[in-house]
């Protein structure tokens, strides 16, 4: 395989800078201001990548589901494999992002992007050579929570939300986040929990808008959980921030947080913790997280940060 080619180029400091990555023209745009309470944070905007790859294109499956060999790859129009992490553009404009489904509703197999394999396909996670599933006890815990909160979506009765990732983001393991107890990044793309009604297949790409962020701390590493909703959902126009989620999906954020806190307990591990006061942060904060992790990803693919065993192909 040819090595990843990254070419850096710079425009005016007042406008934007750009780099070319695997056929994508990535533009780093002007600074912007975000307000958090009484604080105003000036930060850089997202790297907006205009990719040759189009998300509506083909996915192929290799191997049988629930086996060690099972993989879901993405193809371009020529039939060549592309990366589900690096080649799908993140930013679509107007606060809308691409979201890659890893774990659909009504499933318990722990699927994830294989960040260390070429073209980063989606596979089932393993532990000591065995396939991983969400523990039955954790699923039971979500059922109990849901029964106490009868206004939750029916799919929540089996903890079934859509789980996946934001492409072209990365939680840098060398970065200690002072806002999240100084925890370091978990070396993965940013996770998304999509709260809409439709059940998507593994590898489906949805257009979503972020609503809030949960700062999960898993064994000392921060592991952001962005709560979002697909634009195709009938209630998408009603929810634009964390307060709207509580109004139109009452109890959902509490159930999501508690499930992520407790789901490893059946395996004998301690409960996960949450930063930021154990509460979901605002949409603006979620966008801040996406922006920062997108910048970390850009440094990764430009090789200004060591990739270690991560695949950049």
Residue positions annotated with a catalytic role: 134
Name the token pair of 90: 């993140």
């Amino acid at each position: 395989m040819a090595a990843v080619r990254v070419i850096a180029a710079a425009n005016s400091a007042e406008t934007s800078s750009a780099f070319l990555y695997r056929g994508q023209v990535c533009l780093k745009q002007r600074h912007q201001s975000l307000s958090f309470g009484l604080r105003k944070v000036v930060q850089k905007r997202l790297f907006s990548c205009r990719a040759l790859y189009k998300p509506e294109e083909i996915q192929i499956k290799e191997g049988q589901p629930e086996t060690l060999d099972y993989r879901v790859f993405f193809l371009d129009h020529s039939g060549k494999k592309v990366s589900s992490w690096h080649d799908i553009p993140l930013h679509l404009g107007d606060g809308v992002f691409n979201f890659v489904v890893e774990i659909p509703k009504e499933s318990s197999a722990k699927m994830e992007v294989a960040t260390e394999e070429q073209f980063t396909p989606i596979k089932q996670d393993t532990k000591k050579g065995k396939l991983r599933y969400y523990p039955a006890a954790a699923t039971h815990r979500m059922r109990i929570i849901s029964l106490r909160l009868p206004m939750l979506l029916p799919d929540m009765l089996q903890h079934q939300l859509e789980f996946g990732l934001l492409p072209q983001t990365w939680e840098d393991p060398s970065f200690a986040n002072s806002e999240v107890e100084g925890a370091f990044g978990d070396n993965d793309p940013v996770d998304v929990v999509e709260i809409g009604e439709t059940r998507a297949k593994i590898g489906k790409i949805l257009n979503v808008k972020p609503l809030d962020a949960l700062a999960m701390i898993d064994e000392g590493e921060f592991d952001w959980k962005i709560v979002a909703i697909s634009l195709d959902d009938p209630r998408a126009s009603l929810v634009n921030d964390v307060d709207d989620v509580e109004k139109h999906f009452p109890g959902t954020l509490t159930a999501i947080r508690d499930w992520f806190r407790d789901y490893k307990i059946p395996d004998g591990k301690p409960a996960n913790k949450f930063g930021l006061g154990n509460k979901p942060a605002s949409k603006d904060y979620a966008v801040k997280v996406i922006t920062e992790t997108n910048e970390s990803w850009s440094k990764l693919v430009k090789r200004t940060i060591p990739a270690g065993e991560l695949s950049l192909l």
